[in-house]
A and B are shown apart, each in its own frame.
Chain A
Amino acid sequence: MYQEVIAAISTAPGEGGIAIVRLSGDGSIEVVKKCFRRRKGRFSPRPWRVYLGDIVDSDGRRIDECLLTFFRSPNSYTGEDVVELGIHGGAFVAVRVLERLLECGAVLAAPGEFTKRAFLQGRLDLSQAEAVIDVIRANSDVALQNANLHLRGALTAEIREAERALLRVLALIEAQIDFPDMDTPKVTLSEAGAELEAAHAVLSKLLASARRGRVVKEGYRVVIVGRPNVGKSSLFNYLAGQERAIVTDIAGTTRDILEVSLNINGLLVNLLDTAGLRGDGDFIENLGMARTEQAMLEADLLLVLLDGSTNLTTEDEALLAKTSTTRRLLVVTKVDLPLQVTLPPAENAILVSTVTGGGMVELRETLAREAGRTIGGEHNLLLTNIRHTESVRRSREATRAAVEAARAGWELELVAIDVRQALDYLGEVGGRTVSQSLTDEIFAQFCIGK
């Protein structure tokens, strides 16, 4: 029975620790062999052994260290040959490894496909059938949501452009084949080749610009804001675990943005310290404040700091009003001192002190939760993205084959095979089937009739 090798990240993002990337299907080990380099000794894997090595890219550069385990059919989760790769880096590295496996010939698993295979191979018992169906349904609904989200973006326009170019060539070829007597424009091999070359260029551009999920790649961006002297830099240093920012009791100490990357429960969090916001700064301070404004725009989360030892100032009020619609977390500082501040009603705040360390556990937990939620969502989107990128890449390959067939002098019928294939792959992204749109295109374009 013909079964493709499927691959997927099987750990939920944001759970921290090691991510597992899993492959299933006959030939799984052959796929992995192309990108796994064992630390020492030759790699001739035996089942139920663990191997330490690296996943390397096409130039032999290390992507990440990994532990490989090989499960031989039928004693595996799916009942097929299964390879599991345990990798250290966070979600982003797992995605890179997955992409590399796809390059080496695996296909991205459909939602619930591992479970489905396990079931079809008789590894799960009958009573689990309904549970499997729920998994498939739930996952595909998420994927669909993501796909819709995704398709509303700029990608759609470019995919449609490539689709149109390919369809135009195919319609020309097919009209000429199915209606040879008609005075439809006759396309020659070299003309078809040139048109296909153009479609190929569009697809290449599309691939180059395929954006990765920013958060998964760059980390979750937390920006500390507050009026001067509220304790921003102190909190920054505390969370960073080092004295990065200068702390003084002079208002307006911090004038540029400082950034530090933190690992909070296995998630990459970028913490930014900013210049305090106030109305009457000097020139340099004003410049710093402009940067703060910019950083606020790019933030995934704002930590809005309020000094617990004084009452709210007009600057505090202004900042609260300004950030009321952004994602923010109120943090009351200096709570080791007598509490003076009255908080805005109906808003939670975390009370912290950099002197006693009070409230810091709660703050870290809250940050981890918020980051996890965002990264988890984006992770799904990213998988959709990989799926689409994969389809576009295959489409481009087929288009290349068509160009080469035309150049070598193969007849139109054979060129059409690859063009159709290219369109089929794009259809996986755009959701249109070739056969219907082709027929429509032929009759819309050409005056054909007996």
Chain B
Amino acid sequence: MYVAGSYDCVVVGGGHAGCEAAHAAARMGCRVVLLTHSLDAIALMPCNPAIGGPAKGHVVAEIDALGGLMGFVADQTFLQMRMLNTGKGPAVRALRAQADKKQYQALMKKLLESTPGLRIIQALVTEVLSDNGQIRGVRTHYGAEFYAATVVITAGTYLEGRVVVGQASLQSGPNSLLASTGLSASLGRLGIEMGRFKTGTPPRIHRRSVDFSQMEEQPGDDIPARFSARSTRERRAQLSCYLTYTTERTIAIIRDNLHRSPLYSGMIEGRGPRYCPSIEDKVVRFADKERHQLFLEPEGFDTDEMYVQGFSTSLPEDVQVELLRSVVGLAEVEMMRPGYAIEYDFVLPTGLSLALESKNCAGLFFAGQINGSSGYEEAAGQGLLAGANAAARVLGRPPLVLLRSEAYLGVLVDDLVMKGVTEPYRLMTSRAEHRLLLRLDNARSRLGEVAAQYGLIAAEDYQAIKEEDEELARLVAGLSSRTVPNCDAVNQVLQGVGSAPLTQAQTAAALLRRPEVRWEHLAPFLPEASSMSPSLAMRLEVEIKYAGYIAKEREQVERFLRLENRLIAQNINFGNIRGLSNEAKENLTLRRPHSVGQAMRISGVSPADVAVLLVYLEGR
């Protein structure tokens, strides 16, 4: 046995969750070591090259607001950037980057290497060490022991990973990387409940074998936005994606070869996500759809590999090639890597606290796909929170828990821990009850205070955020009293957008509240507009234009918080509360909610049970 060192925090895994976890804990002043089985796999994107999109992009902005890395790194390494959902509403506008995978990895590794207090070591962790329900450290395959007060496990889809293509299977993590064997059993010995999921990835093809003339080009935005306020905006070259379709032949080939699919032959039993079905799933489940759309996405500037989005499959290689050839524009395709399905063990997230700490072992935290989620962004977000909470534990500070009403990260963790998962969990904007308040443009404003409190961002950054908020409030007040004159110039603009002309002078705010009138229409008539940054102008427009809706949501949040702030002591014995239904007793005991609000979201807890609980709590 070799004692390799003592730390405040050991992070196991160097994926998106591990990177943010290690960085956040170090940021908060802990001595941290990140252990990963391959230093070359740090921040690897084994599936698609995209970061962001609806809800996911919001998470990236929240990670950035909490001092995390993902957004900044994506900003520096994108090969395409697009703002999605413009024109569908202020809060669903979403930023998505296509990253150069290698550049992304390299920059992330560099940033971690230069983070004070953080060491990065290549090691294959196979065992967790604990004493009486308290974590002590980890042991590696070669027998080295790392001791720490807290351990964050971010093992992704590597736990007992098994890759399947056709009838062949391999003990392996994603992308032919080593699977993690042993760790899962070690966790099981702590009494931690595990499940098994399945996911998959499509084949990669060579750019020169694609006939782009038969496809629709999708370029990036002319003026690409950025995730992080820390990023500079200098110009970057961008690459295009391409839209193409499957054909009747694709469907016929799948039908003829279904018996060779491991999903249908019973070789794979793990549950896969509904939002990421394999192409064979799509053909079976949506039988009357004549064609399915596919996107070809570049994997990087320095490679000709392209990712075939929408074509995830685990059919045998020969069928994959035949299938690809049936796609419009891919008749001559050269497949470089086959698609595959991967099965892996995960930890039932209902066994975790809202701080992502195991209920079975104090100081042991989990983050990322190991918690049954999917997606790089969901993983990174959990990583940041788990890392911060590990550090908070070391520092003797209260856990960092975000509410559903203040961040997508709050929705994510609450959903995982309180509801549990039956398929890999993907964040969607429709999962947030108060979507209108959780916008890209106000992420820093929403999370600045808590980020500063926990030492995740610098005090002067928070100061700047506060100043911008104050400036915004001043501007909102100003425009509510500033009048726009009833003159030809104004009326011409109004008529141009199909809006009724003025009959008398009106306040700028009132005009902006007309759905068809936008900030850019009014700006020429407002002197304060000239000195305003575009991001401030955007926030100003949203705050004024949607004031009615925002006020309504705020009121709902207030009602929501009333129950959310009604805390439940952790030593309560729900079984002893008279008047609770048996189902409520059972589920409350199992989930141990921290607040009445959370209790209410647990299945089997009726409004009458909530009333009983309230009375009981008051009586104590």
Chain A residues with CB under 8 Å of chain B are: 1-2, 110-113, 116, 119-120, 126, 129-130, 132-134, 136-137, 140, 144, 174, 176-183, 408-414, 416-417, 435, 438-439, 442-443, 447-450
Contacts and interface: CB of A to CB of B under 8 A. Distances in A.
Nearest to A1: B562
B611 A450 contact: no
B292 A439 contact: no
Interface string B362-385: 000000000000000000000000
Given A2-B558, A416-B89, 13 more contacts: A2-B555, A120-B614, A134-B578, A174-B428, A177-B430, A178-B54, A179-B275, A180-B84, A181-B295, A447-B285, A447-B286, A448-B275, A449-B278
A442 B431 CA distance: 12
B337 to A, nearest CB: 16
A429 to B, nearest CB: 13
A129 B615 contact: yes
B310 interface: yes
B400 to A, nearest CB: 25
Interface in B287-325: 289, 292-293, 295, 309-310, 312
A416 to B, nearest CB: 8
B615 A413 contact: no
B612 A137 contact: yes
A130 B88 contact: no
Closest 9 CB pairs of A and B: A413-B89, A129-B619, A140-B608, A133-B579, A411-B89, A409-B515, A443-B274, A174-B430, A447-B286
A180 B276 contact: no
Nearest to A122: B618
A129 B616 CA distance: 7
Given A133-B612, A180-B54, A450-B309, A411 B559 contact: no
A336 B612 CA distance: 59
B586 interface: no
Interface of B: 47-48, 53-55, 84-85, 87-92, 94, 274-278, 281-282, 285-286, 289, 292-293, 295, 309-310, 312, 428-431, 433, 435-436, 515-516, 546, 549, 552-553, 555, 558-559, 562, 578-579, 606-608, 611-612, 614-616, 618-619
Given A417-B553, A439-B430, A450 B88 contact: no
B258 to A, nearest CB: 17
A413 B612 contact: no
A116 B94 CA distance: 45
Contact of B312 (A2, A134, A136, A449): A449
Contact of B615 (A119, A414, A416, A443): A119
11 contacts: A111-B608, A132-B615, A144-B608, A178-B55, A178-B428, A409-B515, A412-B89, A417-B552, A417-B553, A439-B430, A450-B48
Nearest to A180: B84
A133 B436 contact: no
A120 B615 contact: yes
Contacts of B579: 130, 133-134, 136-137
Contacts of A110: 607-608, 611
A303 to B, nearest CB: 41
A443 B562 CA distance: 33
Contacts of A450: 47-48, 275-276, 309-310, 312
B421 to A, nearest CB: 12
A411 B92 CA distance: 10
Nearest to B619: A129
B513 to A, nearest CB: 10
Contacts of B312: 449-450
B310 A449 contact: yes
Given A177-B429, A178-B429, A450-B312, A412 B549 contact: no
A412 B615 contact: no
Contacts, number: 139
B91 A413 contact: yes
B293 A182 contact: yes
B618 A129 contact: yes
A411 B428 contact: no
Contacts of B274: 443
B611 A136 contact: yes
A187 to B, nearest CB: 11
Contacts of A174: 428-430
A180 B85 contact: yes
B618 A438 contact: no
A112 B614 CA distance: 13
A177 B92 contact: yes
A137 B430 contact: no
A413 B55 contact: no
B88 A177 contact: yes
A208 to B, nearest CB: 28
Contacts of B289: 447
B309 to A, nearest CB: 5
A116 B293 contact: no
Nearest to A174: B430
B293 A183 contact: yes
A117 to B, nearest CB: 10
Nearest to A175: B430
Contacts of A134: 578-579
Contacts of B619: 119, 126, 129-130
Contacts of A140: 606-608, 611
Given A2-B559, A449-B310, A414 B89 contact: yes
A220 B129 CA distance: 75
A442 B274 CA distance: 10
Nearest to B278: A449
A79 to B, nearest CB: 13
B308 to A, nearest CB: 10
B188 to A, nearest CB: 30
Given A409-B516, A447-B282, A449-B312, A177 B85 contact: yes
B57 to A, nearest CB: 11
A92 B559 CA distance: 34
Contacts of B89: 177, 411-414, 416
A347 B466 CA distance: 84
B611 A443 contact: no
B277 A449 contact: yes
A434 to B, nearest CB: 9
Contacts of A416: 89
